[in-house]
């Protein structure tokens, strides 16, 4: 495979990794947004049950904790997707350039061996 073909394949594979990563990040963002609205609806439904300030404060604390946990879970999931994409892209680039280096180094070594023989 020529250098140009390897570079085209590398570009194509990197593009596929990027599009898959962006697609997954958008899916995760959509899921997070839906969970946020569900959490808001759940706690809004509990508001009519509030009879005093202490129960309102408790409900507000529960709501804040639920939202915070949702945010943390979302960031962890997105971080994992990005980490996988970086690892995959890095391995593709390393494989692409290590193959080129081996192929370039091998022909240079052969003439030296023939000259010594």
pLDDT, tens only, 3-45: 788 888 889 999 999 999 999 999 999 999 999 999 999 999 9
**50-94 pLDDT tens trace:** 899 999 999 999 999 999 999 999 999 999 999 999 999 999 988
Separation CA 26–CA 30 (nearest Å): 6
d(CA 18, CA 23): 8
């Amino acid at each position: 495979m020529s250098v140009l073909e390897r570079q085209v394949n590398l570009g194509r594979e990197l593009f596929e990794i990027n599009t898959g990563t962006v697609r997954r990040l958008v899916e995760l963002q959509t899921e997070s947004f839906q969970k946020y609205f569900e959490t808001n609806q759940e706690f809004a439904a509990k508001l009519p049950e509030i009879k005093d300030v202490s129960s309102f404060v408790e409900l507000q604390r529960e709501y804040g904790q639920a939202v915070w946990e949702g945010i943390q879970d979302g960031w962890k999931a997105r971080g994992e997707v990005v980490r996988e994409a970086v690892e995959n892209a890095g391995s593709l680039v390393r494989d692409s350039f290590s193959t080129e280096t081996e192929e370039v180094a091998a022909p240079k070594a052969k003439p030296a061996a023939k000259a010594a023989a």
